[in-house]
Chains A and B, each alone.
Chain A
C-alpha cells in the first residue's frame, strides 16, 4: 500500500484505468499516511476522511464502468484558501473561525467534475501572507526536507507551505496552491516539488479567498512536471463569474511536455544576478542554462531594467488591495466576533484578535498607501512601476525570447523561527525577489526542482513564459527535470 502514495499523479491515473488498484485503495493509503505524518508536519488543517472515501467510492464505480473524468480517483490536497462546500475554509486565519462555505470554488469544482478526490484542506500562511508558512493560525508547517546530518526543522516556504510539504511528503498526489508574489514557486523550490503559477486570468479566482486580487492566481503543486500539466488542465478555464478570467481554450498541457526546447530562445536577465547570492544558486542557474543549450535552446542575455523596483512596488500594491479585500472580515456576518460596547469597538476587538501580526502589518501598510495625500506618491507610482515592469517583459518577448530562466529563490529552505527574519520583515520579503516581478506582469512561471545545495536541500529554477504560453514552460521545465535526474524524495525523519 505505501508504494501507492509514491506514484506520480500520472501513474495513479494509469493504474486506476488499468484496474491495478482502486481509488479507494489509493485514497486510504494517503489518509493513513496523513494520519501518521500530519502531527509532525502540520500540512493539513482539516482532514476529510469520510468525504474522501465516499468520493473515492464514487470514482471506483465510474472507473468500473469505464467512465469518469481526467482525474478520476486521484486524491488531492486543497489549500485552505479555496472555498470547499461544507468544509473547513479559513485561509489559515482565526478570523474565519468555523467558516464553512455554502459554495464551491470554480477550480475545485473543476477538479471534482474531473473525478478528483479531496483528502483535506492544507495549511498556509494566514490569508496567503508569508514566505515561510509560519503566519498560519494553525501553526507552522514543517518542511519534510532537512539538511543532511541536521535535525533542525526547516520551513517549507509560503504561503502554499502546506501544499508543498504535503506533496513532497506523499500526503497527496497533488495539491492546489495560489501565488500572489511567489507563494507557489518558492515553496515548490524549498520542497523539491514542481509549482506553476499560470498566466493571470487562466484560472478563475471565484471562490478563492482574495489576498491581492490583481496578483492572485491559482496553480498546482505536484511532484513532476507532467503531473503539473495534468492538474492545470483540469483547474484552468474561463469563468464568466470572474471578470478577470480570460476566455481562451485550455490547451492539453500534458501534450506539450515532451516538445523539447530545440530552437527556443531562452533569456537570461542580468538583473537577477544579485549581490550576495550564494554560489550554489549561481551554479545551478548556469547548469540549467547548459541543460537547455544541450537540448538545442539558444541562450540570450537580456535586460529587464525595472526588476529592482518590483519588490518595493509589490509591497505597495499587494497590501493596498489586501487592506480593502480583508475589510469584509469585520465580525458582522461570519467567522470570529469579539464583542465590544459599540460597533467600532466590536470591529477593533474582532480584527485585533482575528488577524495575526503579519496580516495586521499588511493591512496597516495598505491603508497607509491608499490614504489621502499618500495615494499618488505610493499607489499610483507603484502602478506606474508595474506598467514599466510589464513593458520590460513585452520588449524581450517582442525581441524573440520564448522563455526566461532565473533562480526560483535566493536560497534553500531556512530554519523555522529564523530570528533574523523575525526581526526584519523585509528580509522575509526578499524571499520573493525572483518571483514577484512575474505576478506584477501577470505572466506564467514554473518552478522546477533542479539541484541540491551542499546540505542536500532542494533548489529550484524558475522559467518565465509569455502570456498564456504555459506549454513552453512545461516543455522547458520537463527538460530541466529530466536533465537534473535527481530524486527529491525527502529522507523520512518523522
Chain B
C-alpha cells in the first residue's frame, strides 16, 4: 500500500525533544475474534474457557487429508463489520496460506487473506472532544484463523499445546497510518470496539484476548517524511496501548536525537516494566510464502447478499449519536457518553422516551452511570430499571418532588426497589406546593425571628436563611420556587 498523509500536523500533539519537535505516526492492526458458534473452517465450538483441547475437530488438529470448509456465518460477520466501517465490500476475495512452523499452528500454515481481502477501504470517525472530529482511514479487513495456545509453564523442558482456539475466526482490521497520538490510538481502539459490539460481530473482550492490537509506531519531524516504523505485537488493553506508544515514541526519538537510526522490527510490550523490547528484526522476519489456498475456492457473493446484511444492520454509534442530539436536544458530549454501548444507549432511550431529554440524559449519566461505576455494575445487572428511573423523572417534571428529594428517592429505589410514585406517596415525600400551607409556615418564621427580618431588608441575600428555615420546617418538601416567591412578597423584597 502506498502511504498517504491525510492529517495536518497539530502542534498540541508534538513531543518535545532535545533537538526540536517530533510527531508520532501510528497505524493499528486490530485482531478481533468473530462472534460465531463455530470456527472459521470447521464445526468446532468457539466457546471460551472449555477444558484444553476439547473444542478440536480433525480439521483443527490438521489431521492428514482434512479439508477446510468456510463457515458462512463468519463471512456474514466480516461483511457486517465492513459495512459498519463504511468500507468497500469485495464480492470476490481469496484465502491464502501463510506458511510458518510453530507447535500451536497445526497445519504449518495459517489460512488468511493476503492480496484480496473480503473488505477494502473504509472510514472511522473519532470524537476527540474539544479537538473535534478526526477521520481515520481503514486500509482493509480480512478473515483469518487464530492459532492455538502454547503453555510453557507446566513442564520443565516441554511445552503443552491447547488447540481450542486453533481455527477460530479473526478479523484483522488494518488502519491507515492516520493516528497521531496515543490518545487518538486509545480512542480508535475504543471506537472500533464499540462498532464491533454494536454490530455483534466481536464481543470486544480484551482481557480474554477477543480483541488485541498490533501497533505500528514511527516518529518524524512534524509533517515530514514518514519514519521507519516498529510494530508492537499483541497489545491487549487500551491502557497498555497508550503506555506502549508513549514509551516507543520516546525510545525512537532518543535514538534519532543521538544520531542513530531506527531498525524496522517487531517488538513486545512488557506491561510490568512499561517498556517495549525487540522480538525479531527485519532480517529475522519470516518468509511466509503466501500463496492461494488450493483447498478453498475464491470466496464470492453477490450484491444482494451484501444488501440483505446491510438492511438488517443495527443503528451504528455515529448515527445514534446524531439522532440523540437532534431527537432529545442533548449535547454532543452527552450523546457520546450515552452511546458508548448499545445497552447504555437503549437504557437512555427507554428513560428519555416521552420525557425531557436533557433531564433524562442528566439523570442517566450523572446519577445512574455514576452509581453503576461506583458499584462496578453495568446496565445488564443494574438494580434499577429504565422504567423506575423514568418514574423518578416523571415525579420531578410534575413538580411532585424536588431534585433533592429525587436523589433521596433514587437511593431508596436503588436499595429497596419499588415503584417511585408509590414510595413518594407512602412516605409522604411529595413536595408541598400548597401556598396556604407554605404561607402559614412563613408567617410563623417571620413572627418568631424579627431580628432576621430587619437584617434581610438591608441584605437581601439573607433570604437563603429563611428558605432554609422553611425547608427545615417542611422536612424538605416545600416547593422551593413557591417558598421563594411567597418569602419575597412577605418580606417586601
Least distance between A321 CB and chain B CB atoms (Å)? 6
Q: Are B97 and A347 in contact (CB under 8 A)?
A: no
Q: Are B108 and A324 in contact (CB under 8 A)?
A: yes
Q: Are A371 and B64 in contact (CB under 8 A)?
A: no
Asked if A243 is at the interface of the complex by the 8 Å CB criterion, the answer is yes
Q: Quick one: given A214-B294, A330-B108, A367-B289, are A96 and B64 in contact (CB under 8 Å)?
A: yes
CA–CA, A212 to B291, complex, Å? 13
Least distance between A322 CB and chain B CB atoms (Å)? 11
Partner pick for B291 among A103, A242, A320, CB 8 A cutoff: A320
Q: Are A208 and B65 in contact (CB under 8 A)?
A: yes
Q: Are A327 and B295 in contact (CB under 8 A)?
A: no
Least distance between A481 CB and chain B CB atoms (Å)? 32
Asked if B412 is at the interface of the complex by the 8 Å CB criterion, the answer is no
Asked if A105 is at the interface of the complex by the 8 Å CB criterion, the answer is yes
Enumerate chain B residues within 8 angstroms of A214, measured Cβ to Cβ: 294
Q: Are A213 and B295 in contact (CB under 8 A)?
A: yes
CA–CA, A408 to B64, complex, Å? 30
Least distance between A372 CB and chain B CB atoms (Å)? 5
CB 8 Å contact bits of B290-314 with A (1 = contact, 0 = none) = 1100111100000000000000000
Enumerate chain B residues within 8 angstroms of A330, measured Cβ to Cβ: 101, 103, 108
Q: How many A-B residue pairs have CB under 8 A?
A: 98
Q: Which of B64, B101, B287 has its CB near the most chain A CB atoms (within 10 A)?
A: B64
Contact-size category for B: 20 to 34
Enumerate chain A residues within 8 angstroms of B107, measured Cβ to Cβ: 327-328
CA–CA, A304 to B275, complex, Å? 63
CA–CA, A242 to B66, complex, Å? 9
> Among residues 85 to 118 in chain B, which have CB atoms less than 8 Å away from a CB atom of chain A?
97, 99, 101, 103, 106-109
Asked if B281 is at the interface of the complex by the 8 Å CB criterion, the answer is no
Enumerate chain A residues within 8 angstroms of B287, measured Cβ to Cβ: 371-372
Enumerate chain B residues within 8 angstroms of A241, measured Cβ to Cβ: 67, 69
Asked if A205 is at the interface of the complex by the 8 Å CB criterion, the answer is yes
- Complex: chain B residue closest to A83, CB-CB: B65
Enumerate chain B residues within 8 angstroms of A344, measured Cβ to Cβ: 101
Q: Quick one: given A105-B65, A212-B294, A320-B291, are A327 and B101 in contact (CB under 8 Å)?
A: yes
CA–CA, A205 to B62, complex, Å? 15
Asked if B58 is at the interface of the complex by the 8 Å CB criterion, the answer is yes
Q: Are B289 and A375 in contact (CB under 8 A)?
A: yes
Q: Are A101 and B67 in contact (CB under 8 A)?
A: no
CA–CA, A208 to B65, complex, Å? 5
Asked if A399 is at the interface of the complex by the 8 Å CB criterion, the answer is no
Q: Are A243 and B296 in contact (CB under 8 A)?
A: yes
CA–CA, A91 to B65, complex, Å? 10
CA–CA, A96 to B65, complex, Å? 12
Partner pick for A209 among B64, B106, B295, CB 8 A cutoff: B64
Least distance between A74 CB and chain B CB atoms (Å)? 24
> Among residues 78 to 105 in chain A, which have CB atoms less than 8 Å away from a CB atom of chain B?
82-83, 89, 91, 96, 99, 101-103, 105
CA–CA, A424 to B103, complex, Å? 36
Asked if A286 is at the interface of the complex by the 8 Å CB criterion, the answer is no
Least distance between A237 CB and chain B CB atoms (Å)? 15
Q: Are A206 and B289 in contact (CB under 8 A)?
A: no
> Among residues 159 to 213 in chain B, which have CB atoms less than 8 Å away from a CB atom of chain A?
159, 161
CB 8 Å contact bits of A193-214 with B (1 = contact, 0 = none) = 0000000000001111110111
Enumerate chain B residues within 8 angstroms of A343, measured Cβ to Cβ: 103, 159
Least distance between A370 CB and chain B CB atoms (Å)? 4
Asked if B61 is at the interface of the complex by the 8 Å CB criterion, the answer is yes
Asked if B391 is at the interface of the complex by the 8 Å CB criterion, the answer is no
Asked if A429 is at the interface of the complex by the 8 Å CB criterion, the answer is no
Q: Quick one: given A101-B64, A205-B65, A328-B107, are A370 and B295 in contact (CB under 8 Å)?
A: no
> Among residues 223 to 269 in chain B, which have CB atoms less than 8 Å away from a CB atom of chain A?
none
Asked if B462 is at the interface of the complex by the 8 Å CB criterion, the answer is no
CA–CA, A205 to B67, complex, Å? 8
Q: Are A332 and B106 in contact (CB under 8 A)?
A: yes
Least distance between B286 CB and chain A CB atoms (Å)? 10
Q: Are A332 and B67 in contact (CB under 8 A)?
A: no
Q: Are B69 and A332 in contact (CB under 8 A)?
A: no
Least distance between A223 CB and chain B CB atoms (Å)? 27
CA–CA, A297 to B486, complex, Å? 117
Q: Are A243 and B65 in contact (CB under 8 A)?
A: no
Asked if A414 is at the interface of the complex by the 8 Å CB criterion, the answer is no
Least distance between B148 CB and chain A CB atoms (Å)? 10
CA–CA, A354 to B173, complex, Å? 40
Asked if A384 is at the interface of the complex by the 8 Å CB criterion, the answer is no
Q: Are A206 and B67 in contact (CB under 8 A)?
A: yes
CA–CA, A324 to B290, complex, Å? 10
Least distance between A238 CB and chain B CB atoms (Å)? 13
Enumerate chain B residues within 8 angstroms of A321, measured Cβ to Cβ: 291, 294
Least distance between B242 CB and chain A CB atoms (Å)? 34
Least distance between A30 CB and chain B CB atoms (Å)? 26
Least distance between A398 CB and chain B CB atoms (Å)? 24
Asked if B482 is at the interface of the complex by the 8 Å CB criterion, the answer is no
- Complex: chain A residue closest to B161, CB-CB: A332
CA–CA, A99 to B108, complex, Å? 18
Enumerate chain A residues within 8 angstroms of B297, measured Cβ to Cβ: 243-244
Asked if A334 is at the interface of the complex by the 8 Å CB criterion, the answer is yes
Q: Which of B62, B161, B294 has its CB near the most chain A CB atoms (within 10 A)?
A: B294
Q: Are A379 and B291 in contact (CB under 8 A)?
A: yes
Least distance between A466 CB and chain B CB atoms (Å)? 21
Q: Are B62 and A213 in contact (CB under 8 A)?
A: no
Enumerate chain A residues within 8 angstroms of B66, measured Cβ to Cβ: 206-207
- Complex: chain B residue closest to A366, CB-CB: B289
Beyond A101-B65, A330-B103, A332-B161, 4 additional pairs, beta carbon < 8 A? A242-B67, A324-B291, A328-B106, A328-B107
6 smallest CB-CB distances across A and B, nearest first, come from A327-B108, A213-B294, A370-B289, A214-B294, A328-B62, A209-B64
CB<8 Å pairs between A and B, sample of 21: A83-B64, A101-B64, A102-B58, A103-B63, A205-B67, A208-B65, A212-B294, A213-B294, A241-B69, A243-B69, A243-B296, A321-B294, A327-B107, A327-B108, A327-B109, A328-B107, A332-B161, A334-B63, A370-B99, A370-B290, A371-B287
